[in-house]
Chain A
Amino acid sequence: MQALQIFLQNWIYLIGAMAIFGIGLYITLTNENIFKIIVGLDIIESGTNLFMTAIAWHPKAVMPIYTATNQLVVNGKVVSADPLPQSLVLTAIVIGLGTTALALTIAVKIFEKYGTLDVRKIKEAKR
């Protein structure tokens, strides 16, 4: 039990992140609907973000914000979660947002012009 707990503590977020990553990739690679593909891409990004957060965290970490009660440094050792990946995640989320917005716009335009959301049907008559 203890071993399982330690295992879960150590691995659960990484495993979860990878599972989300895999699910997103699967959706992207198998669904022909454009919107579903975009959703898949979004899920992949979520997986990546979770992965980055996970490597910043350890079971005994505290939040990286100085407050009156929250001690980030104990005996010269930092005990908080790693703030750097968190800030990177912040950036990555915004970038993902931008990509998604653009993708959705393109999808809307594609539906307008091709009249379909099936990726297989988005092609020109003459190759």
Chain B
Amino acid sequence: MNIFNNAALLIGVPLLFAFSIPLFGLISKELAKWVTLLTIGFNASFSFYILFAHKYPTMVVMGNWLPPFGENLYIGPVAAFLVFVISMIGLLIAIYNLWAIKKGDVIRFSVLFLMFTAGASGIVLTGDIFNLFIFMEITGISSYALAAFGPERRALGGAFKFLVVSSIGSTLYLMGVTLIYTQLGTLNIAEIAARINQTTPGLLTFAGILIISGLAVEAELFPFNGWVPDTYTGAINGVSASLSGIAAISAVYALFRIAMTVFGKSGGAYVSTYGKIDLMALIALLATATVIIGELSALSQKNVKKMLAYSSMAQMGLIAVGFSIGNKLGVYGGIFQLVNHSIAKSMLFLIVGVLVAVGVGENIDDFKGLWKRNPFLTLTFSIGAFSMLGFPLFGGFWSKFSIVAASVQRGGWYDFIIGLVLFASVVEAFYYLRIVAYMFASDVELPKVKTPITPAIPIFILAVSIVAIGIFPQIVGTFSAQAAGELTHKMSGYILHVIPSIAAH
């Protein structure tokens, strides 16, 4: 047991500054944005320190009560890496927000955005199943409010849909947690994970179904994802970027932490779960349906933003397919794809945001001949698109590669699943390439548009990182591999680091 309590600052500092931003806001609106930026910057640098300089897996104990009695944060390879990714993307979107958020209640927007990022980090960090719910609600409430923010009324409609579905989802999650508590009398993830087979199978299955259903809402899996297109389309682009780049990471993390660590059987080549039905297989089915439905829906969209929304949905499905294969390679691919998706998709949303702001528009027809009008945004958009469709030498290739490899390795009906997913990928390739082809059309004569400098910085950094990951996949790969090791070996990867004394037996 390796305790590093100072890592509580990852949550504490954002909270402190979130509470104090209204005071900073009394001085200047800009200051509020800068405080947000710097706070997320602190988180990013601190998580960078943990990831590269500190020894992990490590643990934060809250209030000096050791797990399983008190609450704890667990910083394993997964959490360390994902917190870093979340904070970095949050930082970049905060830079974008400096430019994008000029009107409306800027101060409170900053508070919400800061807590949105911190809440997502909290989901990834926490080691308590109820605390996970709290952080989900922190992320959730701030994202409802953020999604409703904006001059357009469609934002409100989208946010309301999100709110309704997500409330039901969180209620279901809470029910499931309660059911587990009746059986095991504890809320600590590690202890539940260690003792999960002491529950009765029927109740366990039911609780698992409730929890998975609840989490699937935010993880955008099929029947639970009705809110996705409207919310993503309605929200302002910075918020859509953070929804797909930040909230998605934490939601998928939560889903698979529960499915693989809490419910998972230890041992065996592939992770499967206790209970009457295998939750991993259930998720695999949902994920496949999500991929196909998402890609097919995206195909006929004329609105790029909506298309990106559907594509997000489909990508989440692909990520979930990767995880649900359940071997190390699959989880590796899933995490890799998660990172790629959040980088590329948030970049694409930011680009659409810039394009809308400079007067190009968000429909496919507006993209015609963009190369002549603004090469920078065209190039970065193409990079994002290529990463999305898994073009070699772009980030997305390696993850898709691993997912396909893993499912082939697993064989059985996963061959069928991956066949469907690959079909959907062809569809995906079509609509992304269609946009790229439109952008490079030279038969359109329209005035040039300038790229504003501030939002260009995050877009540039994200594009460079996509290419860098594509060329040196080790950048993400090493961490993904460690993370996959943690998720697929629940005893040695998680439980023993949190409650070492379980090992005595």
Residue contact B171 to A55, C-beta cutoff 8 Å: no
Q: Is B153 an interface residue (CB 8 A)?
A: yes
Q: How far is the CB of A52 from chain B (nearest CB, A)?
A: 5
Contact residue among B141, B163, B171, B187 (Cβ-Cβ distance under 8 Å from A48):
B171
Task: Check A102–B163 contact: CB distance below 8 A.
Answer: yes
* A85→B181 contact, CB < 8 A: yes
Determine if B174 and A92 form an interchain contact, defined as CB atoms under 8 angstroms apart: yes
Question: Which of A45, A98, A114 has a CB less than 8 Å from the CB of B171?
Answer: A45
Minimum CB–CB distance from B140 to chain A (whole Å) comes to 8
Q: Are the C-beta atoms of B144 and A102 separated by less than 8 Å?
A: yes
Query: Which residues B135-178 have CB closer than 8 A to chain A?
Result: 137, 140-141, 144-145, 148, 153-154, 156-157, 159-160, 163-164, 167-168, 171, 174-175, 178
In the complex, what residues of A have CB within 8 A of residue B137's CB? 95, 98-99
Q: A6-37 CB contact bits vs B (8 Å, 1 = yes)?
A: 00000000000000000001001000001001
Total A-B pairs, Cβ < 8 A? 77
Q: Per a CB cutoff under 8 Å, which of A52, A88, A107 touches B160? A: A107
Q: A109 — which chain B residues lie within 8 A by C-beta?
A: 148, 156
Smallest distance from the beta carbon of A124 to chain B beta carbons, Å?
Answer: 5
- Report if B134 contacts A (CB, 8 A): yes
Question: When the two chains form their complex, are residues B153 and A113 in contact, meaning their CB atoms are under 8 A apart?
Answer: yes
How many angstroms from the CA of A51 to the CA of B179 in the assembled complex?
10
Determine chain A's interface SS by DSSP, over half rule.
helix
Contact A110 B160, CB 8 Å, known A41-B168, A85-B178: yes
Q: Is the CB of A51 within 8 A of B160?
A: no
Nearest A residue to B174, CB-CB: A48
B115 to A: closest C-beta gap in Å: 12
Instruction: Check: A71 CB closer than 8 A to any chain B CB.
Output: no
A70 at the interface (CB under 8 A from B): no
Q: B174 touching A52 by the CB < 8 A rule?
A: yes
A123 within 8 A of B: yes
Binary per-residue interface labels of chain B (166-207) against chain A in the complex, 1 for a CB within 8 Å, 0 otherwise: 011001001100100110000100000000000000000000
10 closest Cβ contacts across the A-B interface?
A113-B153, A122-B157, A95-B137, A55-B182, A110-B156, A41-B167, A52-B178, A106-B160, A109-B156, A48-B171
Residues of B within 8 A of A (CB): 130, 134, 137, 140-141, 144-145, 148, 153-154, 156-157, 159-160, 163-164, 167-168, 171, 174-175, 178, 181-182, 187
Other contacts beyond A44-B167, A99-B140, A106-B160: 12, CB < 8 A: A25-B168, A28-B164, A34-B160, A41-B164, A52-B178, A55-B181, A88-B130, A98-B141, A99-B163, A99-B167, A102-B163, A113-B153
Interface residues of A (CB under 8 A from B): 25, 28, 34, 37, 41, 44-45, 48, 51-52, 55, 84-85, 88, 91-92, 95, 98-99, 102-103, 106-107, 109-110, 113-114, 119, 122-124
